[in-house]
Structure 1
Amino acid sequence: MTNSLHAVFHAIANIRNEQELRLTLMDKISEHFGVQNSGIYLLDEHLTAEIDVPGIPAVCLENNPVGRYVVERHAPAHEQLLLSPADWKHFCSRHDHEHVMTGPIVCDGRLIGTLNLARDKGNPAFNGNDLADLSALCIHLSAKMATLRTKPKIFDSLLANPLTVRELEIAELVAQGLTNAEIGEKLWITQNSVKQALKRMFRKLKVSARAEMVAKLQDIEAS
């Protein structure tokens, strides 16, 4: 377990930009914690200036006790730290989120994202060792994000692109043909959040359809 955690630390150290976070880390993180579902949720830049606790999607439901704990304390938590198994089921009945654990990604004293882990039904609950490992991992992630966000933007394609990192992730999944529901599940946000994001993206790009949006982004990347 220690070796695999060090592998994740090493991978974080070599990340060059925010887009690489999921591509580089998620397989290693899932392997270390033995989870079937995992995700990194980064708040859009326009949301970080004023954080409203109920508005932050975390784990599987908005405004759930695990997410609220992480937002209020900037500390990791799992559902059994806060609730009995029966009480947890009042908030989440999904069999693939039988056990959940969430940790904070913090920059300049502000919560800028969360690292979310979930185990399917029939798998063991998260324990104190898992929580300690997640805490260490979030410290490394937070330090890396602080470094990335103080660097100047050097990629012309990013300068020319009006979308945020989060919106670019949604656009990539749209290009893969995923529905709003499927995108929400992959990014650990609600279907309505995806829908609202797409409306913003259409306005920014001055398009009216998903295919038109993907084509325009491809043109921007090629220019």
Structure 2
Amino acid sequence: MPRSLYPLFQAIATAPTEQALRFRVMDSISEYFGVQRWGIYLLDENNGLASVDARGVSDTFVEQYQKFGKSVDPVLQYVLQYHAPAHEELVLPKGAWKQSELYKRCCSTYDHEHIMTGPIVGQGQLVGTVNFARIGHVPAFSQLDLASLGAVCTHLSARLAELRKQPWSTNPSVKCLTPREVQIADLVAKGLTNAEIGAELWITQNSVKQALKRMFRKLEVSARTEMVAKLRM
């Protein structure tokens, strides 16, 4: 009998922060899907890569995939189009995986025998993906795996959206900030340092610093406390 996903759903639903959500999913999800390599990729407002948390693969693979593989990834294209999980046998003709451009450019080097990707969505847009790979002589992903990943992605998307709810939504000053900047402002208001904000949002400390500079200019303030006070007016 397949292992129940209920404990994972509960862990996702009760995660108090994005960072805790990331840790809870990354630390346990491989056990449910029998994968040796897995990761969460999150996108920024411009649909670029905002952050990556991956296990079992190196930064070199992530860079190689972004540079050479992403544009020819048929599984990702399916996920982008339908906002539904997919694996290589669902989107390619039987036996075509190892002749695909994605396999030749990226996956062959890392022995990715089978891959599966699921969508993280928010406000009707793809905001990230959950990515799996099985290596060596192992079975392909099944319909049950697809359904299970779809369920996980539904819970993950809902919790991420809740954690990213915009505070101060009725304050006119908020309208000049991007959703990411609103998140940063919220964490500043909670007393987090730049390093802590970076860890929470899966971005670098320097990215937080540069974002704060832009936010100060937009809001016409010069300090964190002044910014929070203006947003709370």
Query: TM-score, normalized by length of structure 1?
Result: 0.64
Q: Give the Cα–Cα distance (whole angstroms) in 1 for the partners of residues 90 and 74 of structure 2.
A: 10
Separation in structure 2 between the aligned mates of residue 162 and residue 24 of structure 1, nearest angstrom: 18
SS at match of 2:15: coil
Indicate which of 192, 198, 201 corresponds to 1:157. Answer: 192
Q: What are the Cα deviations for residues 123-163 of structure 1, in whole angstroms up to 9, with x where unaligned?
A: 11001000000011111011111101115424322578785
CA distance in 1, matches of 2:82, 2:4: 27
2:44 maps to what in 1? 44
Partner residue of 2:149? Answer: 134
Does the 8 Å contact 2:3/2:32 carry over to 1? no
RMSD of equivalent CA atoms: 3.0
1:86 CA displacement: 4.1
Quick check: which has more Rg, 1 or 2?
A: 2
Shift of 1:46: 4.5
CA distance in 2, matches of 1:125, 1:11: 27
Residues 41 and 113 in structure 1, CA contact (< 8 A), matched pair in contact too: yes
Are 2:159 and 1:144 aligned? yes
2:69 aligned partner = 61
| CA pair 35-15 structure 1, distance change in 2 beyond 3 A | same
The equivalent position to 1:83 in structure 2, one of 62, 81, 92, is: 92
> Counterpart of 1:22?
22
User: Is the 8 Å Cα contact of residues 197 and 208 (structure 2) preserved in structure 1?
Assistant: no
Q: Percent identity?
A: 46
Q: How does 1:170-181 map to 2 (within 5 A)?
A: none
Gaps of 5+ in 1: 49-56, 172-199, 206-223
Measure the CA separation in 2 of the matches of 1:202 and 1:133.
35
Distance of 2:81 and 2:193 partners within structure 1: 33
| Structure 1 segment 76-115 matched on structure 2, within 5 A | 76-84=85-93, 86-89=95-98, 90=100, 91-92=102-103, 93-115=108-130
C-alpha offsets along residues 177-214 of structure 1, whole Å, 9 cap, x if unaligned? xxxxxxxxxxxxxxxxxxxxxxx849939xxxxxxxxx
Q: Counterpart of 2:140 in 1: which secondary structure?
A: coil
Q: Number of residues paired by the alignment?
A: 166
| Partner AA of 1:17 in structure 2 | T
**In 1, Cα distance between the equivalents of 2:120 and 2:207?**
25
Paired position in structure 1 for 2:133:
118
Gaps of 5+ in 2: 49-64, 168-185, 212-233
Q: Conserved in 1, the CA contact under 8 Å of 2:41 and 2:129?
A: yes
**How far apart are the structure 1 equivalents of 2:80 and 2:144?**
21
1:151–1:12 Cα change, 3 Å: farther
Output the amino acid matched with 2:40.
Answer: I
3-state secondary structure, aligned to 1:28 = helix
